[in-house]
Amino acid sequence: MDHISPIVHVAGIEFDLAVIAMILITSILVFVLAKLAVRNISVTNPTKLQNFLEWVIEFVQNIIGTSMDLKKGRPYLILGLTLIMYIFVGDMLGLPLGIVTEVHHGATFLGMDLFLDGEEEAHIAWWKSPTADVAVTGALTIIVVLLTHIEGLRLNTKHYLKHYVEPHWLFLPLALIKEVSKPLSLALRLYGNIFAGEVMIAVILGMGVWGIPALVVWQGFSVFVGAIQAFVFCMLTMVYMSQAIVHEEHGEQH
Amino acid sequence: MHIVWSSLIIQLIAFLILLYLLKRYAFGPLLGIMEQRRQYVAEQIANAETSKKEAEQQLEQQKQALQEARKEAYDIIEQARATSSKQADDIIQVAKSESTRLKDEAVKDIESEKNKAVAALREEVGGISVKIASKIIEKQVDEKSQEQLVNQYLKEVGSK
């Protein structure tokens, strides 16, 4: 019952068709949701969806407010909003259904050969959470972590560079390990949680009819996990950002 | 764990595009609206405060106007009272003088009537006594000396 990804090779580059499709679907869904919310936008008479989106905005503003001064965090509000909505919608998408096809060696999709890793027969999963792929979470993490370093260098140059060699230059390796572990933990936490959830769903499906109660319970739990992971990703983004751009008060002499 | 690097690049690009689109078409306008609402609320509160102040001012003005009206009414009543009492005094005065005049006239009338009556009575009594005397003494005394005698007696009676 091992599901593999629909991988094709075009011009020597490996493409995962399922992940590409899910990235597009999730992005379009998030955009349509946000666009619907700002339809008939109004100051005094907001629609229900507008109210909901405003609630999300305030929620993210609160997340930013807990880690840094809201004035400094204002530029990252839209980043945080996009992250939390994209990850939440991505987490939820994998839950309600799965599309699995059984293929044999030499099968093609739109004229492209499907790569079966040498197996004669395989089950290909076409529908899954985009966040259950380590490349996707890695990409999100790269954006966040690169941005923290750029903003740290741009807004807080002296303190940002100094924190690598504080309290002594011998601590440089430790600081570097810390900088590497941050994106790793961020990417792997999200990937691990969602991927594990999908694996668990596949296992429960293997139980047949008797698995239905377990499936209901596990899907409910997965909704919770997905929401928590979206929140945690957004929260940690803001925490890392504040670490990079906000310097400690005691070192400050104006 | 097999990493498909193309997915990473595609996700990177897709996320940046999504970020831009959301900012341009959804969150930008929405944040603008939220800011507008904040200003709207602040404006409404300021408006309410000014209206309250105006209302208080008007209330104060009306209170003052009411006070003035009351004072004026009081003055008018006082004036009316003074006028009426003066008029009453005048009327009483006039009535008093009228009554005095009437009384005097009456006294005068009585006096003249009395004099007239006395004169008439005197004449009558004179005539009657002459008749009585002439009846009694049967024309012994002539009328002229008789009248003289009676007048003498009557004078004595009248002076008493």
Residues B21, B27: Cα–Cα separation, whole Å: 9
What is the percent of chain A with per-residue pLDDT over 90, rounded to a whole number? Answer: 7
Supply the pLDDT for residue B71. 96
CA nearest to A179, candidates A149, A203, A209: A149
**CB B147, CB B126: distance < 8 Å:** yes
Nearest CA in chain B to A22: B11
| Comparison of pLDDT for B141 and B79, the residue scoring more | B79
Q: Return the H-helix or E-strand segment holding B116.
A: helix B28-137
A107 band by pLDDT with thresholds 50, 70 and 90: low
Give the type of residue at A236. L
Per-residue model confidence as pLDDT tens digits over B63-91? 999 999 999 999 999 999 999 999 999 99
Per-residue model confidence (pLDDT) at position A115: 67
Q: What is the pLDDT of residue A251?
A: 45
> A5 CB near a chain B CB, below 8 Å?
yes
| C-beta separation of A57 from A77 below 8 A | yes
Q: Which of A50-64, A240-254, B54-68 has the highest mean pLDDT?
A: B54-68
Whether the CB-CB separation of B6 and A14 falls below 8 Å is answered with yes
CB atoms near residue A184 (< 10 Å): 12
Cβ <8 Å between B30 and A86: no
Structure tokens at B33: 């609206």
Rounded CA gap, A9 and A15, in Å? 6
A36: pLDDT strictly greater than 50 = yes
Q: Supply the range of the domain harboring residue A240.
A: 3-251
CB-count burial class (<10 Å; 0-12, 13-18, 19+) for A6: buried
Residue A134's pLDDT is: 85
Provide the 3-class DSSP secondary structure of residue B4.
coil
pLDDT band at residue A253 using 50, 70 and 90 as cut-offs = very low
What is the Cα–Cα distance from A208 to A199, expressed in whole angstroms? 15
Does B16 touch chain A if contact means CB atoms closer than 8 Å?
Answer: yes
Return the number of CB contacts < 8 Å for A and B.
Answer: 112
Burial of A19 (0-12, 13-18, 19+ CB in 10 A): buried
| Residues A245 and A152 sit within 8 Å (Cβ to Cβ) | yes
pTM of this prediction? Answer: 0.71
Domain that holds residue B70: 5-159
Contact B4 A42 (CB under 8 A): no
Residue A79: CB partners within 8 Å, gap ≥ 6? Answer: A144, A147, A237, B19
| Angstrom distance (rounded) from CA A112 to CA A117 | 15
Q: How far apart are CA A194 and CA A224, in angstroms?
A: 11
Higher per-residue pLDDT: A225 or A246: A225
Residue B150: its pLDDT value, please?
A: 82
pLDDT in tens, B95-131: 999 999 999 999 999 999 999 999 998 888 888 888 8
> A113-167, pLDDT tens digit by residue?
666 666 666 777 778 888 888 888 889 999 999 988 888 888 877 777 777 777 7
Into how many domains does chain A fold? 1
Q: Report the residue from A46, A78, A140 with minimal CB separation from B23.
A: A78
What is the identity of the amino acid at A242?
S
Which pLDDT tens digit goes with each residue over A159-216?
777 777 777 777 788 888 888 888 898 889 999 998 888 888 888 887 778 878 888 8
Q: What is the pLDDT of residue B41?
A: 92
A75 touches chain B (CB under 8 A): no
Contact B30 A41 (CB under 8 A): yes
C-beta of residue A136 within 8 angstroms of C-beta of residue A195: no
Dist. CA B95–CA B97, nearest whole Å: 6
Question: Between A38, A50, A86, which is nearest B15 by CB?
Answer: A86
Residue bearing the bigger pLDDT, A35 or B59: B59
Task: Give chain B's domain count.
Answer: 1
- Whether ipTM tops 0.90, in short, is no
Determine the average pLDDT of the residues in A64-70: 82
Residue A248 token pair: 């400690």
Tell me the pairing of strands A3-4 and A7-10.
unpaired
